Amino acid sequence: MDEIVKAALRKWPNVPHCWGWLGLDARGEWYMRDERVQAAGAFSQIKGERLRNERLREFIERNYACDAEGCWFFQNGPQRVYVELEAAPWVWRLEHRGETPSIAAHTGTQARFESAWLDDRGRVFLLTDLGLGIVHTLDMELAADAIEQGYWAVAELPFERMPAHFGYVLSPQRER
C-alpha cells in the first residue's frame, strides 16, 4: 500500500466505504460504474466506463487488497472502494518460460502455481500463492499446453461454486 494512503488512513480513520463504483473484468480491465450504470444492472450485465488512465490503474493496483470476508477493494486514501468482480480477484497473464508458463497477475505481481481449475463455461482458473484468478483469454493456449503436457493437473468446479470454495465475494454489498 502506498505511504500516502497509509497516512490518509491514520488522519481520517472513519471515512465511509464505497460500493458498486469500481469493477474488474475477466480480462484485467478496471471499470468505473457511476450511479446511472449501477441502476442499469449488475457488473456482469453492464460494466461501465473502462479506466484508460495508466497512472490511475497503477495506483489502484498498488492499493488493491482483500478484507477478512473475501471482499476485494481499492484503498483510495482513507476510503475503501469495494470492487465488483466479473470472475475472480486476479487475472493471470502467462508467459512461456521453460516447461511451464510463468504467471503474473493483472497488477504485474508474480505468482506461483498451486492448482488448475476448469469451470462449466470452459474457462481456466489457477490457484496460486496469491489466490484464485482466471487465465486471460489471450493466454489460454499456454494454459492448455501446460494441462495437455501434464504439468498442470486440472480439477473441475462449476463457476457458481468458485467464490465460496475459494473464499472471495463477486459483488460486495453495503449490508455487511
| pLDDT for residue 5 | 63
> Residue 59: pLDDT above 90?
yes
User: Which of 85, 109, 129 is the last residue before a domain boundary?
Assistant: 85
- CA dihedral sign, ordered 128, 132, 137, 143: positive
175 lies in a domain? no
What distance in Å separates the CA atoms of residue 38 and residue 152, rounded to the nearest whole number? 39
Taking alpha carbons only, the member of 38, 124, 35, 53 closest to residue 84 is 38
Residue 98 cell numbers, joined:
521453460
What is the pTM for the complete model shown? 0.89
**Domain C-terminal end among 27, 51, 85:** 85
What is the pLDDT, as a whole number, of residue 176? Answer: 47
CA dihedral (93, 95, 100, 104) positive or negative: negative
Three-class secondary structure of residue 59 per DSSP? helix
Q: Which residue has the higher pLDDT, 3 or 108?
A: 108
What is the predicted pLDDT for the residue at 3? 76
Write down which residue in 36, 65, 85 finishes a domain: 85
Q: Which domain holds residue 40?
A: 3-85
Per-residue pLDDT for 151 more than 80? yes
CATH number, position 38: 3.10.540
pLDDT tens digits for range 63-76: 999 999 999 999 98
Looking at the structure of the chain, the number of domains it has is 2
Q: Which three cell numbers stand for residue 148?
A: 495437455
pLDDT band at residue 173 under the 50/70/90 scheme: confident
Residue type, 137: T
Grid coordinates representing 92? Answer: 493471470
Question: What average pLDDT is seen over the chain?
Answer: 92
Taking only the tens place, the pLDDT of each residue in 83-133 is 999 999 999 999 987 778 999 999 999 999 999 999 999 999 999 999 999
Instruction: Say whether both 17 and 75 belong to one domain.
Output: yes
Asked if residue 105 lies in contact with residue 60, where contact means CB atoms within 8 angstroms, the answer is no
Q: Identity (one letter) of the amino acid at 51?
A: L
- Residue 31's SS3 state is strand
